[in-house]
Amino acid sequence: MHLRRFDFDDPTCGLSRGESDLAIVWPPVSAEGVEQLVVTTDRRAVALPVSDPLATRSELGPADLGDRDWVVPRAPDAEWQRFRHPASIGVQDVRGVVESGSVEETLELVAAGAGCALVSENTDQHYARAGVLIVPLAGNPRCTTALAWRRSTTDPAVTRIVAEVRSLGLPLG
């Protein structure tokens, strides 16, 4: 087994290009021929610079987040990108958009004050970044993480892993 990290340029983490056999992805992923099994859910949240007046709030709603600049993923999967745009949570008046190629770049742009970004509530557990606070969205909207593989795979290791994960009765979270 070899581990490899993919950025926003391939939300299928190499599956659609045949560069990987099994991946952990952030749905929705619209690539044809890719199967997904949700393994965990998390609350959606907003990454804000620590200097932002909203950063001290316990939760935020769409009405709080209008007339702002946003950091959004630059990705070829329109469905995947749309889910990560502020319009997906009901923010109507986006002032401007700055594109990002990875989670790390997104958080650096937020810390630098380029805008706020949609993330999961637990983003800071995996990508802690000085200068950024994560504030949950009101109403408990969720996002997911999934195990993904090519539908056409015949690899017995992939088949065995998928079966074992299915037997766990996920999702968690």
* pTM confidence score: 0.92
CA distance 149 to 157: 11
**Nearest-CA neighbor of 54 among 97, 99, 91, 104?**
91
pLDDT of 173 > 70? The answer is no
The mean of the pLDDT values for the chain is 95
pLDDT of residue 170: 81
Strand partners of residue 25: 146
pLDDT of residue 1: 76
pLDDT of 87 > 70? The answer is yes
Domains of the chain with bracketed CATH: 42-142 (3.40.190.10)
pLDDT of 3 > 90? The answer is no
Start-end of H helices in the chain: 78-83, 103-111, 123-126, 156-167
pLDDT of residue 65: 97
pLDDT tens digit sequence for 97-149: 999 999 999 999 999 999 999 999 999 888 989 999 999 999 999 999 999 99
φ/ψ of 104, rounded to 5, equals -60, -45
